[in-house]
Amino acid sequence: MQAAVASAFRDEWGRVVATLIRMTGDWDVAEECAQDAFALALERWQRDGVPRNPGAWLTTTARNRAIDRMRRAATGANKLQEVAVLSADSPSESDESGVGDDRLRLIFTCCHPALALEAQVALTLRTLVGLTTPEIARAFLVPEPTMAQRLVRAKRKIRNAGIPYRVPPAHLLPERTGAVLAVLYLLFNEGYAASGGADLVRQSLTDEAVRLTRTLTELMPDEPEALALLALMLLHDARRSGRVDDDGDLVPLEEQDRTRWDRNAIDEGVELLDAALRRGQPGPYQVQAAIAACHATAPDAASTDWPQIAALYGELGRMAPTPVVALNRAVAVAMAEGPEAGLALVDELEASGALRDYHLLPATRADLLRRLGRRTEAAAAYRQALELAGADAERRYLERRLAETERA
Amino acid sequence: MRYALLICGDEKGMEARSPEEASAGLNEYMAFGEEMGKRGVLQGGERLRPTTDATTVRVRDGEVLTSDGPFAETKEQIGGFYLVDCKDLDEAIGVASKIPGARNGSIEVRPIWEL
């Protein structure tokens, strides 16, 4: 029974909260009523069995809770609100964009550009995924009161500033969809490469990001960048079990045991990417997914199509000219044309002063110098990278490389 | 919902404009006012004289303290404002993005604290 409720929680929490926000217009009431409904489910389903449609049961129960609360409060304004809730049981009227799902309204509202990025992420995790405030605080390595306040402030701003609860109309959709995808990708990355602490893969965040992105692609099947983001996540996640060895140490891509990669996830990722590319509207997530597909579909490290990857990074650099993309392009060029060509690009990047605090800049330099046999310089660069690296597994990898360089 | 749209920019830059530029700028604001007046969102708005004409008043221990200039020296100053009535923040952002000053300065969108 616990398991049935837990699974309903994962599947239905976001939907119940999203619907209750539309009905009541109050984010706190929506969350509290959803919580009540899940607590009641634990008790009732034990006695009566799991209902045929757990989602509908939960939504109805939460809605009845909301009506009870308003009746108890029983002021004039609440009477009006009660009428609104009572009459809102039919499937919602569709937005200007023609998309009617409440979860889509919720995610676009959580990711409204008038909210700070960190508030967008926290709000998405709380309302759509149902993570508790302590869980979100742990995931982002901030004290619990800080996270609690971030959530309170974000909800207050939505109310006070009049951020609408809707899917934006067509003319705003491209820019707003970008914000939603950015939040989902950030969530995925936060789980995939935890920026600090012991566990390199905080799996629950990655899983939730994949789930949410999958939902988004179901709700917006014509959006190629959403399809591509899901493809990108699946292609990365497919390599999860090869990425860290049994001791929790980071295994570089070329040394990974490719039989441990998840073939089904790779196949699905490639299919999704193809579907996205067929739309003929290129975008940065499509390019990144194409790069990930090059890696994931190479039978072994030696047959990786590095010239193709270098060209894709060049393309990505034109769409999104960031120093991290430039660094990745340098790595690909080093593989395609030799370490010297790559090192020239890394030196250029270093001279520009960008990425000064990013451990992968000296780490990349170190690897290229090592391959060129310039050991003293390589060791110095590894030490520099170690000073900046955060996650334990990454540190152990750098320490191992440094030891090898110094031994030789 | 009502919002104040505060037009912020570098007033030194404004003062340095040629008469032709200044008059072209004025025309843009006239066109904006006409368009928004037609849409029915505009409730009011004014251009402010520069902070060099500002006086700051404080009352401390019952005494009125008057000083020259703005209350704080900042890189950008408020040069004017509109009061608008919009459906929601998205509409207010849409109106703010049409204010000519948004293209060189910035517009702060502040919800009115309704009592």
Dump the DSSP string for A357-400: T-THHHHHHHHHHHHTT-HHHHHHHHHHHHHH--SHHHHHHHHH
For residue B77, report the phi and psi dihedrals to the nearest 5 degrees.
-125, 155
DSSP SS3 for A28: helix
pLDDT for residue A136? 86
Tens of pLDDT along A122-140?
Answer: 999 899 888 889 888 887 7
The answer to whether A170 contacts chain B (CB < 8 Å) is no
Quote the CA–CA distance of A268 and A289 in Å, as a whole number: 12
Lowest mean pLDDT among A64-78, A217-231, B4-18: A64-78
The pLDDT confidence band at residue A142, using thresholds 50, 70 and 90, is confident
CA-nearest residue to A166 within chain B is: B90
Each residue's pLDDT tens digit, B22-81: 999 999 999 999 999 999 999 999 999 999 999 999 999 999 999 998 888 888 999 999
Q: Do the Cβ atoms of A164 and B1 come within 8 Å?
A: no
Question: Alpha helix locations (H) across B4-88?
Answer: 11-15, 19-39
Write phi, then psi, for A168 (nearest 5 degrees).
-60, 150
Digit-coded pLDDT (tens) for A188-229: 987 776 544 445 446 778 888 998 899 899 888 889 999 999
Cα within 13 Å of Cα(A155), Cβ side: 18
Predicted ipTM beyond 0.90: no
A172 and B CB contact within 8 Å: yes
Q: Is the pLDDT of residue B15 over 50?
A: yes
What is the model's pTM? 0.79
Establish if A14 touches chain B: CB-CB under 8 angstroms. no
User: Tens of pLDDT along A35-68?
Assistant: 999 999 999 999 999 999 999 999 999 999 999 9
Q: Has residue A92 got a pLDDT over 70?
A: no
Which pLDDT band holds residue A93 (cuts at 50, 70, 90)? very low
Nearest to B111 among A161, A164, A168 (CB): A161
SS3 A163: coil
Tell whether A163 is within 8 A of chain B (Cβ).
Answer: yes
Q: Pull the structure tokens for residue A242.
A: 């090869």
Cβ-contact A75, A57 below 8 angstroms: no
Q: Determine, for residues A164 and B88 on separate chains, whether the beta-carbon distance falls below 8 Å.
A: yes
Q: How far apart are CA B105 and CA B77, in angstroms?
A: 9
Q: Which residues of B touch A168 (CB under 8 A)?
A: 90
In three state form, how does the secondary structure of A36-53 look? Answer: HHHHHHHHHHHHHCCCCC
Contacting residues for B88 by C-beta, under 8 A, at least 6 apart: A162, A163, A164, B1
Mutate to test the interface with B, among A163, A165, A171, A173 (most CBs of B within 10 A): A163
**Record: contact A168-B90, CB cut-off 8 A:** yes
CB–CB of B93 and A114 under 8 A?
A: yes
Q: Work out the angle at residue A146's Cα, subtended by the Cα atoms of residues A142 and A151, and round it to the nearest 5 degrees.
A: 110
pLDDT band at residue A316 under the 50/70/90 scheme? very high
Query: Is the predicted pLDDT of residue A95 greater than 90, yes or no?
Result: no
Q: What is the nearest CA distance from A337 to chain B, expressed in angstroms?
A: 45
Residue with tokens 């060791």: A379
Which chain A residue lies closest to B3 (C-alpha atoms)? A161
Which of A112, A162, A172 lies nearest to residue B1, judging by beta carbons?
A162
Is the pLDDT at A406 greater than 90, yes or no? no
**Inter-chain touch B111–A172, beta carbons under 8 Å:** no
CA distance A314 to A308: 10
Chain B residues lying within 8 Å of A114, measured CB to CB: 89, 93
* Each residue's pLDDT tens digit, A231-262: 999 999 999 888 877 777 778 888 899 999 99
Give yes or no for a contact between A233 and A210, defined as CB atoms under 8 angstroms apart.
yes
Size of interface A-B (CB pairs under 8 A): 23
pLDDT digits (tens, 9 = 90+) for A146-157: 999 999 999 999
Burial annotation A28-66 (CB, 10 A radius, 16+ → b, else e): ebbbbbbbbbbebbeebbeeeebbeebeebbbebbbebb
Residues of A in contact with B109 (CB under 8 A): 161
Per-residue pLDDT, A94: 41
Chain B contact residues (CB < 8 Å to A):
1, 3, 86-90, 92-93, 109, 111
